[in-house]
Structure formats: C-alpha cells, structure tokens
Structure 1
Amino acid sequence: MEQRRLGASGLMVSALSFGAGTFGGSGELFSAWGDTDARQARRLVDICLEAGVTLFDTADVYSDGASEEILGEAIKGRRDQVIVSTKAGLPVGEGPNEAGASRQHLVRAVERALRRLGTDYIDLFQLHAFDARTPVEETLATLDELVRAGKIRYIGVSNYSGWQLMKSLDVSDRYGYPRYVAHQVYYSLVGRDYEWDLMPLGLDQGVGALVWSPLGWGRLTGKVRRGRPLPPGSRLHRTAAYGPPVADELLYRVVDALDEIAEETGRTVPQIALNWLLRRPTVSSVIMGARDEEQLRANLGAVGWALTADQIARLDAASAVTVPYPHFPYRRQEGFARLNPPAA
C-alpha cells in the first residue's frame, strides 16, 4: 500500500483508508450503512493492517458515538500501528452547546472521543462542518491548546467552502496556530465539484484531501445501471435523500464508461472508480467503507495497478459537466485558461 504525505504535514497516511461509518448501526442513516460489532470490526482492522491500510476514520455522530467505541475496541493492543481520525462539530444533543466549534464544545468533544476510543491522543481531529456562530480565532486557539496538551496531533476540517478554509488558514498564520492539513471532502466520478475551488486551494496551501463517499453515495458499485430499476437490496432506497444528488444521465454516462474499462482491465466498476480518484491532485487518501470482509477485500483491489492515460481521459470526459461562474471562462476561453490552468 502506497503511503502519502497528508497535505504539507510530515504525517504519512495510506492511500486507501477505512471509514468506520458502518460500525454500530444506530439511527436511521447509520443503520442503513451497516451494523458491524466489535468482533467483526477487529477482523476488518486485521485485514486492513495486513494490506498496509493505516488510517481509520470515524466521527462522534456516527451511530451516536458507537462507531468510536467499536473502533477503539478493534484497535486495542495495537494503537501504535494505526492513525485514528475522528470528527466533531455536528449536533450530538439538543443543548445549546452540544454542537459547533466553540471552546466549550470542542474541549468536551475531544474528551468524549478519547474516552470512547480508549486512547490518550487523536492523530487527526477534524471539524465536521463550519460553525458560522463561533469566531474562527476562538476555534483555532482551542485547537492550539489541545495540540499543546498532546490530546490531538494534527487538525483538519470537513465540508468547508473555499473562503471558510482560506480564512481559517489565514488566522492560523497570523497568530501562529496549527494549520489545517487535511480537508475531508466529497469527491467522485459523479461529483467533481471539489475540483473547482477546493482542489486549487489545496494545491496552493498544502491541504490534503481525504475523500469521503468515493463511489458517489453508493451509485458506482456496478449495481445501478441504465434502463434498470434500483436493486431491491440497495441502501439507496433508504439513504439517497441524505447524500449529494446526481443527475441520472451523468450517472449512466459514467457507468457506461466504467463498464467499458472494466471489460478491458478485468477490474470491477468500484475498483476503477477508486483508482481514478487515487490519481487526482491533492488526494492524500481515499476513504473506503465496507460492511463485511468480502466487500473490504474487493475495495482493496483498487491499488497495485494503474489506469492508462487513455482510460483516464475517457473517464474524465464521461464525468465532465459545465462548471458554474466564475469558473467556466477558465475552462472555455483561451486567455483565461492561459492565466489559470485547471488543477486537474
């Protein structure tokens, strides 16, 4: 397994990482994702470590904290072999301080995460969403204190816009606070919005992408195809409304291209979709999910080989969409493109 730098930091992470959103199975959304218990989770971690996967990602809202607890059980006795990433900031209760990026909430969230994970430090702590109510200075000062206390080692964000991330990096530089080195983002062959603002920002500022939902919220599994109804067992029946929307024609166009390349390579549709992402600029790690051992081993087959330049070009073309203003002049007009070559 290839090991990559996480953004401009010195931390090395595996090109594929494991998302523990399937651990626990509590609540309407996460019960649809999976219900892996501690025994099953330990086996999945065994397989990951054997394959060279070192980064394991979770969050306090995943199954109401059960995901963190089960991951903690699964890594017990081998904490020094893994990199633990967790997130906080989304609501975990009804109280006024049970959400956000205030000092009050972040200190409490880190203490709870440490207890559930059964560890005394978190390798990568990420804010799950931007909190417009809390001054950026307060958030970063708090994270600075937590880093200095040894409770977290690196910091990152998730689901930020370009201006939110850039403002935060500016405050870090101004006051000498730690910089965000990772941005956990949605990015897939049917969702390339990351490329418009956030990828150029990541290149310029040294922020590595940790990609969530690389299979387009379950649409690029090879089971969803043109002219066929959604399979009865698909989790999209229960989860589609929670995830990013995808136009049908875009999806079918991409799946058609994936099918052609699968025939040429002998690889599966998900493996090809994951491999394409691993070749994109700024991507430090692609977070894969798996409900069982068979699914995990199949996803691990996305590494150790490479798409050809022609195959990448065909996937690029199939997944291309018209970008919004102010981006489209840079792609379509020679003068703009000369001054601002696309990051991808």
Structure 2
Amino acid sequence: MEYRYLGNSGLKISEITYGNWLTHGSQVENDVATQCVHAALDAGISTFDTADVYANTVAESVLGEALRGQRRESLEIFTKVYFPTGPGGKNDTGLSRKHIMESVNASLQRLQTDYVDLYQAHRYDTATPLEETMLAFADVVRQGKALYIGVSEWTADQLRAGVEMSRELGFQLVSNQPQYSMLWRVIEDEVVPTAQELGVSQIVWSPMAQGVLSGKYEPGAQPPAGSRAADENGGADMIKRFMNDDVLKRVQKLRPVAEETGLSMAQLAIAWVLQNENVATALVGASRPEQVGENVKAAGVRLDKSTMKAIDKALGKVVERDAALTARTTPRSRLA
C-alpha cells in the first residue's frame, strides 16, 4: 500500500479507501462485512469511508463494530451528512445547522469513535445558506468531532465558494468526493483544475464504473446472477447508464490492454484513476474478503503513456466528459 496527502493538509491516507456503500447493512451479512474490513486492514488499507444515509445509518454501525479494538490513531475514518436519515422528518436532511450538529453526534455514536478524520457534505444544499453550513462545520471542527471537512459532487464554483468561506472561518476544506472512472470523466475540465488551484483532493467513488470496467458484463448477455446489474433493489438502477452494448463492447477492448500490463481489468480501472495527480484515493467496496486483496494490487501502479493512450483508443466516444453533469447531481430539493 502507498499513501498520499489529502488536499493541502498534513493528513496521509491510503491510496485505496475501503467504502461500504451498497454493501454493509444491505447486500452482505454483518459477519462477511467484518471479514472484508479485516481483509482491508491486513492489506494495508487505513482509510474507511461511509455515510449516515447508507442503509439508513446501519452501514455506519456495521463499520464501527468491525473496527472496534483497532488502534484509532492508525485509522482514517470518513463519513458524510446531507441525505434523509431516520424517519425522514422535515429536519432529518440537508446541511442546516440543526441537521449537521445532530447528525455528527449520531454518526460518532454509531462509529464508536470520539471524532472522524473527515466529515463530508454529501451534496450541495441549495436550500440552506452556505454561511450557515460552513459555520456549523467550523464548530464541528472546533469541538474536535471532525479534524477536516470535505464535500461530495460539488461543482467548481461551489468548491471555490466553500473553500473561501472555510478559510475565513479558520478550518480546512480539503477534499471533494466525485464519481470518476475511465468511462466517467466529467470532473476533468472544471472541477479538477479548480481543486488543484485550491489545494483540494479528489476522493473518487465508482472507479470501476459500478463494476462495468471489471469486464464481467458482456454485450448481448444477461448480467451474471448476484451482480450489481442483476440487483433490482437499487444496484441495477445505479449501473444502468453503462449497461448498453456500445459501452460493453468498448470495455471488452480493454482486456488485452490489462493483460499487457499484467493487471486484471478491475485493477487497471483503479490504477487508471490513481494516475490523476489530483486524486488522493480510490474508493473500493467488497462483498467478499478476497476482492479486497485483489483491488489493493492497483496501489502504487504507474501506467506509461502508451498504456494510457491505448485505454483512450479502446473506449473511444463512449467516455462521458460533459462537465455540466456535475451540477445535475445536486438534488432539486432536500427531500428528492
């Protein structure tokens, strides 16, 4: 495992972060989830990412229990706030001061820790003044409940405004967590250059494009049983944008590129996002412990220019690059 600084801070995190979205508390049993977390620790992963909304708070509880007994100082624990939790009442969502202060306390209890290393705004809240949100985050930091603040899926303009205000209030906004992969490059033209200027890192989710870049989905074939694309409880909906023959045919052209580098297709996909110098870590989940060990092999891999060009040639025009798509991830209302 190799480690990188998070933004313009002194915090080092592992190049591969273990994330438990769509797995803990929902798709896998708790004992298997614990085995996956322990496999991550054994592989050198020190950074763990979750959110209060995952499995409606259960994912945080599962992660907290799985990490119980570990040396806290050796871990970096990240969580998020924004989406509805609990019964979904009128104040159970968004980035209001009330929701942030109540949510961080609840997250710490579930994670069995006194503080999180990074507390992230899961989306931008258009219904709450940015000043209110940032003042609440400043207090969370001053109270020692979070060491750093991050965001997720913010536009370049939103990042600029957030970083400026955080500096005025005396705390560090150090990261953004966007979707990023060989197939989904919408952050490259606007978000990444702005983040580099501001000293903000990317913590990227879905580096394997919901598993499509693993090569397990073939054009014209039914998704394998038990795969995300076959999951009618949410997984299939998340992956459907990539599940068309044009994309799947192009992805299969990556197979000889991966073989040439001595990597699996999944490892190639993770290694590819880590070539971007603004990326601090790639978020990777697992439903089986052995998956963790395989994914970790992407850490420290350097892809040469010819390999990067071969990847671009293989994927061609199916790559999504529209920078405007970042703004569309901001919910129209907090209850949407």
Q: TM-score, normalised by structure 1?
A: 0.86
- Partner-residue secondary structure (3-state), 1:312: helix
After superposing the two structures, state which structure 1 stretch, 102-111 or 196-205, moved more: 196-205
Structure 2: runs of 5+ lacking an equivalent: 325-336
Q: After superposition, give the CA deviation of every residue in 1:22-71 in whole Å (9 maximum; x if it has no partner).
A: 5533xxxxx3xx2230x333332322222221100000011111111111
CA contact (8 A) 2:267 2:295 kept: yes
Question: Match for residue 70 of structure 1?
Answer: 62
CA contact (8 A) 1:258 1:273 kept: no
- Partner-residue secondary structure (3-state), 2:210: coil
- Partner-residue secondary structure (3-state), 2:101: helix
Aligned residues with identical type, % of pairs = 36
Report the residue type matching 1:62 in the other structure: Y
State the distance in 2 between where 1:52 and 1:63 align. Answer: 26
- Partner-residue secondary structure (3-state), 2:149: strand
| 1:230-241 matched pairs, under 5 angstroms | 230-237=223-230, 238=232, 239-241=235-237
Among 276, 279, 285, which residue is 1:280 paired with? 276
Moved over 6 A (4+): none
Report the residue type matching 1:131 in the other structure: D
Residues 202 and 244 of structure 1: is their aligned pair in 2 closer, same or farther, counting only changes over 3 Å? farther
2:20 counterpart of 1:20: yes
Structure 1: runs of 5+ lacking an equivalent: 26-30, 327-344
Report the residue type matching 2:80 in the other structure: K
Give the C-alpha shift of residue 217 in structure 1: 1.5
Report the residue type matching 1:208 in the other structure: S
Question: Match for residue 165 of structure 2?
Answer: 171
Question: Match for residue 37 of structure 2?
Answer: 45
2:291 counterpart of 1:291: no
Number of equivalenced pairs: 317
CA contact (8 A) 1:154 1:181 kept: yes
CA contact (8 A) 1:23 1:70 kept: no
After superposing the two structures, state which structure 1 stretch, 147-156 or 237-246, moved more: 237-246
- Partner-residue secondary structure (3-state), 1:195: coil
2:128 counterpart of 1:134: yes
State the distance in 1 between where 2:204 and 2:124 align. Answer: 17
| 1:1-344 matched pairs, under 5 angstroms | 1-25=1-25, 31=26, 34-37=27-30, 39-78=31-70, 79-92=72-85, 93-173=87-167, 175-237=168-230, 238=232, 239-243=235-239, 245-246=241-242, 248=244, 251-252=247-248, 254-319=250-315, 321=317, 323-324=321-322
CA contact (8 A) 1:124 1:154 kept: yes
Give the C-alpha shift of residue 250 in structure 1: 5.4
- Partner-residue secondary structure (3-state), 1:17: strand
Report the residue type matching 1:126 in the other structure: Q
